[in-house]
Structure 1
Amino acid sequence: MTGIARIETATAVLPLPAPLHLGAMTVTRREYSAVRASDADGFSGVAYCLSREAPMAEIVERLVAGHAIGANADDPAATWDRMLRGSAIVGRVGLVRRAIGLVDIALWDVAARRAEMPLWRMLGTGNAPRDAMLVAAYPSAARTPREVADEVLAQADGWSQVKISRMPDPAYMRELLALLGDDLPSGTGLVVDVGFGWRDADEALAEIAQWGDPRLAWLEDPLLPEDAAGCARIRRESGLRVSVGDEVTDPAVLRALVEAEAVDVLRLDVVAIGGVTPARELIAWASDRGVPVSGHVYPEVTAHLGIGVETFARGTNPYDPAPSFIVGGPVFAGTVRPTDAAGLGFTLDPGVFDLSAFSGGRR
């Protein structure tokens, strides 16, 4: 048996050109944490995530990495169980679960590289094109609905879905949704991300009623995911398709949404939920119940899982600079096809994400 010999971490901070307002949150910079796992034969795998200003690297180093050292490099699922049980006294959800997810993804990368195959082949998900959603615009009071609509329309052709965030001004949203409803390509669905911005179903339904008759692929994260009953009511009374699940770390929360008939599409953050190992189980569980799954960011990983992916524009964009430090990865052409390269098929650009910054880590 070849064991995992080293887990290293690094952090990078990239400023945004202007603040983003997401529900009740304001984002002025993007901080990323990365993990590199290496086995005794010299194979390495990587993973990264949005830290959301949490000390992810420190959590990996202090609470998780030690449980992966020495584990079988060909059996990441067994290592996931070691990491979960080893850190159970601290927490099985929340930041610890995110840290486990980071390491788990890197370990799957190692295992697939050792097998000299892309991860999708190891997982048996195939490489057929998956639906892809482009995060196209974040409306703001500084820009007119026409300006935002033009930004979306300039990018929309060929994509399965395009996504905008909600503006809390109902009149603004009514105009913007009308413009996009008239001009979006017929094969492109529109998603509105509320970012958990409504307190309850009453507030949500009152505002949605002022939007006119929007044609949406789905309404995303209207309420906190723990409010399955409220999400079900919005879905039932608004007539809109609903999708919920971003940033959820507890699988029971996602299952409750499905069981309450609160979602048409289940959202899944592969890092937050704990990595590839639990994501596979949840995707299969949702599929058995006829509920499709859409991945939240990290398209380089979710493309291998056989589900819909979310991405920002390749190259420089004003919302999330992650594509600027990803080398390789899936091919985007409206839909997305996972890479045929071994493992996850991407690396981190040392010109943006300084690989020399990786810590001494755990050995």
Structure 2
Amino acid sequence: MTIVRVDTATTALPLPEPLHLGAMTVTHREYSAVQVTADDGTIGVAYCLSREAPMAEIVERLVAPHAIGADADDPAAAWERMLRGSAIVGRVGLVRRAIGLVDIALWDIAARRAGVPLWTLLGTGEGPRDAMLVAAYPSPNRTPREVADEVLGQAAGWSQVKISRIPDPAYMRDLIAMLNAELPAKTGLVVDAGFGWNDADAALAEIAQWGDPRLAWLEDPLLPEDAEGVARIRRGCGLAVAVGDEVTDPAVLKALVDVGGVDALRLDVVAIGGVTPARELIAWAAERGVPLSGHVYPEVTAHLGIQVETFARGINPYDPAPSFIKGGPRFSGGVTPGGAPGLGFALDSTVFRFERN
């Protein structure tokens, strides 16, 4: 059986209020999706945050032609076809994201055709995954007490909760102190800096003003390519550090480990190129004793057997994706992949209107 169609769709969903993360301001979430069809009619799907990039067009022009005709039961071979077919224009960056989007849908097809959930094909087991809840984005128009109450109202049962950094040291000192004092004993606190500092000196100077920040880890203090700078922050502040969001080149993640700059790696399954290269990176990290934490896409990450990151399910002010996901894992403190074949979820056809290519 071979792949005969790759169709795409894009949608933009507004947020109730802007989010501020590092140097970025987010007013809406734009998503791209693919629907891949095998010649026996089996359909696989995947979606991603487009980050305002023309993901659908990249898939259509640079990736889909190499997926069509591929063996529907061998997504790893199809991944190699897609990578080599588009190698002249990019093996990292947006093209790799587009390959990742299609690769995830191909694994969905392979597992559906086998009649098993994807975690069975991957051999990762069906048990609950450790999970981190993205709980709040502080902003100047809300007091630390208001943000702390928002986090505390959701924290029960989660091994970690995450907040974003706001560039106000006094605000962060008060907020972190409240959460350190009031979070359940088994719930760790993560602060996501969102690549918000330009260099290690600036990061260390600001962190020094946070008082006694007892964190599960500090996330993405610098751009991930600055492995030496990240390592210096880790040594200088004494906090555990995790880096890797949006990285498309596995070599960047490996460099962070090689220089001793991280306690955990963040893995974006779409950005890294899909399930196929994610499996290789997970095995590489396991050999070195480095834990991996997924970046968004919990419906996919739950099958990989690593820590899952999720927003609150249902409609929430930060992530509208649950409004268009039908099915998927069970969310209750931990995240448990379901028993349905493939990825186990569908995309709402009223949100994603796939264009036939």
TM value normalised by structure 1: 0.98
Secondary structure of the residue aligned to 1:195 is coil
1:26 aligned residue: 25
| Paired residues, number | 357
- 2:91 aligns with 92
Q: Which residue of 2 aligns with 1:285?
A: 284
Q: Deviations over 1:60-95 (max 9, x none)?
A: 000000001011000000000000000000100000
Q: Which runs of 4+ in 1 moved over 2 A?
A: none
Distance 2:213 2:126 in 1: 33
> Residues of 2 paired with 1:323 and 1:228: CA distance?
34
> 2-side partners of 1:162 and 1:104: how far apart?
30
CA contact (8 A) 2:21 2:166 kept: no
How far has the Cα of 1:269 moved from its partner? 0.2
Deviation at 1:340, TM superposition (A): 0.8
Q: In 2, Cα distance between the equivalents of 1:327 and 1:218?
A: 32
User: CA–CA distance in 2 between the matches of 1:323 and 1:240?
Assistant: 32
Task: Return the alpha-carbon distance in structure 2 between the equivalents of residues 252 and 316 of structure 1.
Answer: 36
Q: Gapped runs of 5+ residues in structure 1?
A: none
Match of 1:320 in 2: 319
> Gaps spanning 5+ residues in structure 2: where?
none
Deviation of residue 97 (structure 1)?
0.2
Indicate the residue corresponding to 2:7 in structure 1: 8
User: Which residue number corresponds to residue 249 of structure 2?
Assistant: 250
TM-aligned CA deviation for residue 236 of structure 1: 1.1
Q: Give 1:104 deviation, angstroms.
A: 0.1
Give the Cα separation in 2 of the matches to 1:101 and 1:16.
26
Identify the residue that residue 339 of structure 1 maps to in structure 2. 338
| Residues 1:358 and 2:354 are matched in the alignment | yes
SS for the counterpart of 1:110 is helix
Q: Which amino acid letter does the alignment assign opposite residue 139 of structure 1? A: P
The equivalent residue for 2:223 is: 224
Secondary structure at 1:156 match in 2? coil
Q: Is the 8 Å Cα contact of residues 134 and 163 (structure 2) preserved in structure 1?
A: yes
User: Following the alignment from structure 2 to structure 1, what is the Cα–Cα distance between the partners of residues 214 and 330?
Assistant: 28
User: How far did 1:350 drift?
Assistant: 2.4
- Name the SS of the counterpart of 1:52 in structure 2: coil
Give the C-alpha shift of residue 349 in structure 1: 1.8
Query: Aligned partner of 1:36: which letter?
Result: Q
Distance 1:240 1:130 in 2: 24
Q: Which residue of 2 aligns with 1:163?
A: 162
**What do you get for the CA RMSD once the two structures are aligned?**
0.6
What's 2:79 paired with? 80
Whole-angstrom CA distance in 2 between matches of 1:22 and 1:53 = 16
Q: 1:58 is matched by which residue type in structure 2?
A: E
Measured after TM superposition, the shift of residue 237 of structure 1 is 1.4
For the residues of structure 1 that align with 2:97 and 2:288, how far apart are their CA atoms? 26
Question: Matched residue of 2:27: which SS?
Answer: strand
Q: Distance in 1 between matches of 2:196 and 2:184?
A: 28
Q: Does 1:265 align with 2:261?
A: no
Give the alignment of 1:29-44 within 5 angstroms.
29-44=28-43
Q: Percent identity?
A: 78
TM-score (norm 2): 0.99
